[in-house]
Amino acid sequence: MSAKQPGAPAPERTERSSLIAAGLILLIAGLGFAFLPRLMLALGTISPFLAAAVGTLFVAAFFLVFWLRARVQRRRDGG
């Protein structure tokens, strides 16, 4: 069991902000994924490779956001 560090936010506030951030990320990503097929079809008329690259980058960015968030939280919590 770890002692509370001075100046650290209350656990309830931290949990709440994490839930809000995750919800916003999922909402934005969900909207992006809803429009991704239409975007890829439009880009596919220009270049199939461009469409594949945009789709790949979008999926990678989705995971990158959560990885970066976890890394920042881990560093902030001292772990």
Concatenated DSSP letters of 7-69: TPPPHHHHHHHHHHHHHHHHHHHHHHHHHHHHHHHHHHHH-HHHHHHHHHHHHHHHHHHHHHH
In this predicted structure, the answer to whether residue 6 has a pLDDT above a threshold of 70 is no
pLDDT at 52: 95
In this predicted structure, the answer to whether residue 75 has a pLDDT above a threshold of 90 is no
pLDDT at 58: 92
pLDDT at 42: 96
In this predicted structure, the answer to whether residue 14 has a pLDDT above a threshold of 80 is no
